[in-house]
Structure 1
Amino acid sequence: MRKRTVITFVVTIAFLLTGLASAYAQQDIRFGVLAKRGVAKAQEKWGPTADYLGKRLKTRCVLVPLKFVEIEPALKNKEIDFLLANSAFYARFKDQYGLTAISTMINRKKDIALKEFGGVLFVRNDSSVKSIQDIKGKKLMCVKYSSFGGAQMAWRLLLEQGVNPKKDCSTFVQGGTHDKVVLAIKQGMADVGTVRSDTLERMESEGIIRMQDFRIINKMEDSYPFVHSTRLYPEWPFAACATTDPKLAKKVAKYLMLLNFTHEAMAASKVYKWTYPSNYADVTECLRVIGML
Structure 2
Amino acid sequence: MIGRSIRLACLLLLSCLLPVASGWADHSKVRIGVQLQGDKERQLERWAPVAWHLNRTLPSYHFELVPLTHSSTEAAIDHGELGLDFVITDPGLYVNLEVEYGATRIATKVSKYDGHALNILAATIFTRSDRVEISHLEDLENRQLVALDQNSFEGWYLAKNALLEADLATDTDYKVTFTGHDTWAVIEAVLDGSADAGVLPSGVIEQLTDFDTLPRERLKVLEKRQTPFFPVAHSTPLYPEWALAKLKHTPDALARKVVV
TM-score by length of 2: 0.76
Superposition RMSD in Å: 2.6
Summarize the alignment of residues 129-208 of structure 1 with structure 2, pairs less than 5 Å apart. 129-169=134-174, 171-177=175-181, 179=183, 180-186=185-191, 188-204=193-209
Higher-Rg member (1/2): 1
Q: Secondary structure at the match of 2:259?
A: helix
Provide closer, same or farther for how the CA distance between residues 29 and 201 of structure 1 changes in structure 2, counting only shifts above 3 A: farther
Higher RCO by CA contacts (8 Å cutoff, separation 6 or greater): 2
* Structure 1 residue corresponding to 2:74, chosen from 64, 72, 82: 72
Q: Could you tell me how far apart the structure 1 residues matched to 2:34 and 2:49 are? A: 13
Offset at 1:132? Answer: 0.9
Q: Which runs of 5+ in 1 are unaligned?
A: 1-23, 255-293
Question: What amino acid does structure 1 have at the position aligned with 2:71?
Answer: V
Question: What amino acid does structure 2 have at the position aligned with 1:83?
Answer: V
Q: Secondary structure at the match of 1:134?
A: helix
Q: 4+ residue stretches of structure 1 with deviation over 6 A?
A: none
2:112–2:118: 8 Å Cα contact kept in structure 1?
yes
Q: Could you tell me how far apart the structure 2 residues matched to 1:65 and 1:186 are? A: 34
Offset at 1:27? Answer: 4.5
Q: Which moved more, 1:40-49 or 1:116-125?
A: 40-49
Q: Which runs of 5+ in 2 are unaligned?
A: 1-24
Residue correspondences, number: 230
2:70–2:93: 8 Å Cα contact kept in structure 1?
no
Q: Which moved more, 1:115-124 or 1:28-37?
A: 28-37
Q: How many percent identity over aligned positions?
A: 27
Question: What amino acid does structure 2 have at the position aligned with 1:149?
Answer: E
Q: Could you tell me how far apart the structure 2 residues matched to 1:207 and 1:30 are? A: 40
Q: Could you tell me how far apart the structure 2 residues matched to 1:234 and 1:198 are? A: 14
| Structure in which a larger fraction of residues adopt helix | 1
1:87 partnered with 2:91: yes
Q: Could you tell me how far apart the structure 1 residues matched to 2:56 and 2:44 are? A: 17
TM-score by length of 1: 0.68
Q: Could you tell me how far apart the structure 1 residues matched to 2:210 and 2:250 are? A: 38
Provide closer, same or farther for how the CA distance between residues 72 and 172 of structure 1 changes in structure 2, counting only shifts above 3 A: farther
Provide, for residues 197-235 of structure 1, a one-character-per-residue CA deviation record: whole Å limited to 9, x for no partner.
Answer: 112233456775444432211111332211111121222
2:163–2:169: 8 Å Cα contact kept in structure 1?
yes
Q: Which moved more, 1:82-91 or 1:187-196?
A: 187-196
Q: Could you tell me how far apart the structure 2 residues matched to 1:82 and 1:71 are? A: 11
